[in-house]
Amino acid sequence: EVQLLESGGGLVQPGGSLRLSCVASGFSFTGYAMSWVRQAPGTGLEWVSGISGSGVSSFYADSVKGRFTISRDNFKDTVYLQMNSLRAEDTAVYFCAKDLGRRDAYSFDDAFDLWGQGTMVTVSS
């Protein structure tokens, strides 16, 4: 079955850290760029970070630059999001998403055709 399964969410104090994981199955993971997208309670979608299929290229939204790090292990079919210096405004459901995969291993496609079920991150004292 083609799917993405996130884990690692939870309750953390402001200034703390968490690492999210997303395990892929049912497709050739190396061929696709992956992203993390978050949704704060009752609000819309915000792209957080993306990494190319090769892992060479990665990019971040300004809101998390310098605090979050995306990485991937193509042997384990897993993408990670290391979140440091967490703030209350980082509270959200975090989804991992697979891109359409029509580009090469260093590029990003225009849309996301597979999403995980999400993992909740709550930053609160």
Which C-beta is closer to other proteins: that of 42 or that of 75? 42
Lookup: tokens for 25:
């199955």
CB neighbourhood size of 2 (10 A)? 10
Binding-residue total with other proteins (CB under 8 A): 21
28 in Cβ contact with 75 (< 8 Å): no
- Asked if 45 interacts with other proteins (CB under 8 A), we say yes
The stretch among 9-17, 21-29, 38-46, 78-86 that binds other proteins (CB under 8 A) is 38-46
**For residue 37, which amino acid is it?**
V
Residue among 95, 101, 121, 123 that touches other proteins (CB under 8 A): 95
- Asked if 35 interacts with other proteins (CB under 8 A), we say yes
Binding pattern to other proteins, positions 106-125, x when CB under 8 A?
--xxxxxx-xxxx-------
Beta-carbon contacts of 62 under 8 Å, excluding residues fewer than 6 positions away, are: none
Alpha carbon separation from 9 to 24, 76, 114 (Å, rounded): 17, 19, 20
What are the residues binding other proteins (CB under 8 A)?
35, 37, 44-47, 50, 59, 61, 95, 100, 108-113, 115-118
